[in-house]
Amino acid sequence: MGLVPKAGDCYPVGMWRAILFMLIGMMLIPTGDAASKLLSNSHGYHPFFITWARFTVGSLLVLPFFPRRCFSVFRNPVAWFRGLLLAIGISVITFAVSLEDLADVFAVFFIGPIMSYILAAIFLKEPVTLPRSALLFLGFTGILLIARPGFGFSVGLACALLAGCAYGIFLTLSRLAAGQEEPKALLFSQLLIAAILCTPMALIYWPEHLLASPMLLTVSGAASMLGNMFLILAYGLAPATRMAPFVYFQLVGALLLGWGVFGTLPDIWGLAGLALLMISGFGSAFLRR
């Protein structure tokens, strides 16, 4: 059977490519988070310095491939707003993880995809359907089953909520900006702008032994950069309302890394939540347009 669907089939090849890019990105971003956690736990680096290092390493890795014609992206206010949102989101969620259990932080943070779905429908006029909306909220239910957060609301969880809101707006603007700028321009601008904005806090918490673990610093920055690159590519191919459920697969990557790197495994409720995430993501993929 051919890869190009007939009229009336689920999605064209471009949509399946967007889904593939999204899944790769959602596995790479937690890889950067795992490296950051190791930097914090094993080497005592402050979360704000780690955040700056991720953006700086990513910027340096992209710079050699950044064409001069793309410097015009820095005249686009959307690019600056995306960089600001990324700096806020990554900084506060890194701080939140240092105060609260990772599962609780993720449960609050994943308000982002729902927010992106709603904002894209309101401001970008993207189509909304009842089945896709139901699958999105099914995925969020899976997140709650995995995390099962308590009713207490602390400073750490408030930071996670702020990060989730910033991420939801960032995802929506990624779809808007994908029609205005090249992917390389968007990737480099968001990393460089975020690095510049995070520099003051990095200087305050500058570590005494900067190069205690250069490999982990590189992995943290490179994985985060590549994950965001694939996210930009995905949002350039498909509407934010269709991509929103796949953001939940970031938690699947986090759970797999937790098992492989930190030796933690989900319980029966966690497995049930993972099943709901799979239904949400792939159910959305198979919905007819």
pLDDT digits (tens, 9 = 90+) for 34-80: 888 888 877 888 999 999 999 999 999 999 988 888 899 999 999 99
Spatial distance between the Cα atoms of 105 and 98, rounded to a whole number of angstroms: 10
Q: Pick from 24-38, 77-91, 247-261 the range whose average pLDDT is largest.
A: 77-91
Instruction: Copy the structure tokens of residue 244.
Output: 């929103």
Q: What is the pLDDT of residue 150?
A: 65
* Backbone phi, psi, residue 57, to 5°: -60, -45
pTM listed for this prediction: 0.80
Spatial distance between the Cα atoms of 211 and 215, rounded to a whole number of angstroms: 9
- When pLDDT is cut at 50, 70 and 90, the band that residue 246 belongs to is confident
Spatial distance between the Cα atoms of 153 and 108, rounded to a whole number of angstroms: 10
Which is higher by pLDDT, 100 or 70? Answer: 70
Q: Among residues of the chain, what percentage have pLDDT more than 70?
A: 91
Query: What is the signed CA dihedral for 234, 280, 36, 78, rounded to 10 degrees?
Result: 40
Phi-psi region of 76 (alpha: psi -120 to 50; beta: other; left: phi over 0): beta
* Backbone phi, psi, residue 73, to 5°: -60, -25
Which is higher by pLDDT, 154 or 23? Answer: 23
CB distance 228 to 190 below 8 Å: yes
CB atoms within 10 A of CB 134: 13
Q: What is the pLDDT of residue 83?
A: 95
